[in-house]
Amino acid sequence: MKGKIFLRRLATACAGAGIASAAVAPAFAEEMKVGFAIAQSGWMEAYDKGATQAALLAIEEINAKGGLLGQTLKPVIEDTRTDLARAAQAGQTLLADGVGVMIVSCDYDMGSPVALAAESAGIISIFLCAADIKAGVQGIGPHSYSASSVANAEGATMAEWSYTKRKARTGYVLVDTTIQYDRSLCAGFDWMFPQFDGAKVVGEDTFKNGDTSIASQITRIKALPAQPDVIMLCSYIPGAASVARQLRAAGITSPILNGTAMDGDYWLDSAPGLKDFVGLAKGSFRGDDPRPDVNAFAERYKAKYGALPVNQSVFDGYVAIQLWAKAVEKAGSFDSEAVVKVLDSFKDEPSLLGPRTFTPDVHIQTQIPFLVTDIVDGKSKVIDQFTISKNIPLDVLLAK
């Protein structure tokens, strides 16, 4: 940090002395650079784009109110092209540019090369929406955070909600083993559901997202003595939509539970007439969020980008900047160590999406309120709000 300030002073001095070329003329002193090493192309773009836009909106709003500690926040974006090698390069470029904080890709694997580089430079990194406990102290180091919550929390929420609100006693677990998120999602359900009186996981099966058919998995469910009360489906588009279609086509009517990955109704053409498909959301951008602040945010987002957000990661992107800015303000400094100290002390700190908590060990949310959604007349609707009654312990999150 000191070295950087020295370099800046040197650059200012050079500019003043007329040594530097005309091209080097930005105002150094009043600006804090916020680095974004995110995918603007490749398959990861679909996840990073909205979250980044929301983070940029948060930055714009902070600047409109006079900036942070008197400094204007300046976003600097480098495209990782959904490529690990390119991501590492993007991170180095941003670090060389002197960013004060590094925002990285949603996905743990894709964001980690950048986060690790930031960590060794002593710069705070924030994963836009990684849902893995590793996106933090355990995988990167003490300066790394995720703006999101662990996938396990979503599975646990579905377990407790379906037990208490839908009186589910038998659950079937269908897990897509393509990505870790879905394994953790179902692990959360597996951990929570059997803890309740009379509740039992009656069967489990796996599939891969790209599987052309899940016919043999369906045959296994149909061979059960009775249809399960709920099916916990841990998967994402396109696989999840395809599974929903195939389950219903096979006459299996058990309510299907899912995490936040399927929020929205753009995929419903895959399974027309779908009912009892219960999912989770951190916030709703369809105007039916019980919290006015969230609805107002969705409107501001729409006003800026011309369309409503399309996925849940958008909310996380906004919260990423919100929490970091709060910590900087409280610390009264951009210094990473000082900001980390404040972030780690956050207990039920208010954010757009409700209370957020960090500890020196856990840099991701493990127990937060979710909206529960269901498909009603071909549209996704918020039907409930729910928070799990117990926090998921760290050793459960770290168990493989």
Give the footprint of other proteins on this chain (CB under 8 A): 42-43, 45-46, 177, 204-206, 208, 210-213, 215-217, 219-220, 222-223, 237-238, 241-242, 245-246, 249-251, 266-272, 307, 310
Of 3 and 272, which has the nearer Cβ to other proteins? 272
Q: Give the distance from CA 197 to its chain's centroid.
A: 32
Q: Of 221, 223, 256, nearest to 240 (Cα)?
A: 256
Q: Shortest distance, CB of residue 192 to other proteins, whole angstroms?
A: 19
Q: Give the distance from CA 201 to its chain's centroid.
A: 27
Of 42 and 355, which has the nearer Cβ to other proteins? 42
Q: Which helix (H) or strand (E) holds 120?
A: helix 108-120
Q: Shortest distance, CB of residue 309 to other proteins, whole angstroms?
A: 11
Enumerate residues 6+ apart whose C-beta is below 8 A from 10: none
CB-based burial, 33-62: b 16+ in 10 Å, e otherwise: bbbbbbbbeeebbebbbbbbbbbbbbbebb
Phi, psi angles (nearest 5°) of residue 336? -55, -45
Q: Shortest distance, CB of residue 231 to other proteins, whole angstroms?
A: 16
Of 207 and 358, which has the nearer Cβ to other proteins? 207
Q: Shortest distance, CB of residue 79 to other proteins, whole angstroms?
A: 14
Q: Shortest distance, CB of residue 46 to other proteins, whole angstroms?
A: 4
Of 35 and 259, which has the nearer Cβ to other proteins? 259
Of 27 and 223, which has the nearer Cβ to other proteins? 223
d(CA 288, CA 280): 14
Of 92 and 270, which has the nearer Cβ to other proteins? 270
Enumerate residues 6+ apart whose C-beta is below 8 A from 360: 137, 142, 344
d(CA 67, CA 378): 43
d(CA 66, CA 61): 9
Q: What share of the chain is helix, strand, coil (3-state, %, to 5)?
A: 40, 20, 40
Longest dimension (CA), the chain: 84
Of 69 and 215, which has the nearer Cβ to other proteins? 215
Q: Shortest distance, CB of residue 138 to other proteins, whole angstroms?
A: 22
Query: At 32, which amino acid appears?
Result: M
Cβ(156)–Cβ(174) below 8 Å:
no
Cβ(137)–Cβ(127) below 8 Å:
no
Of 56 and 179, which has the nearer Cβ to other proteins? 179
Q: Shortest distance, CB of residue 366 to other proteins, whole angstroms?
A: 25
Q: Shortest distance, CB of residue 241 to other proteins, whole angstroms?
A: 5
Q: Shortest distance, CB of residue 217 to other proteins, whole angstroms?
A: 7
Of 1 and 201, which has the nearer Cβ to other proteins? 201
Cβ(328)–Cβ(126) below 8 Å:
no
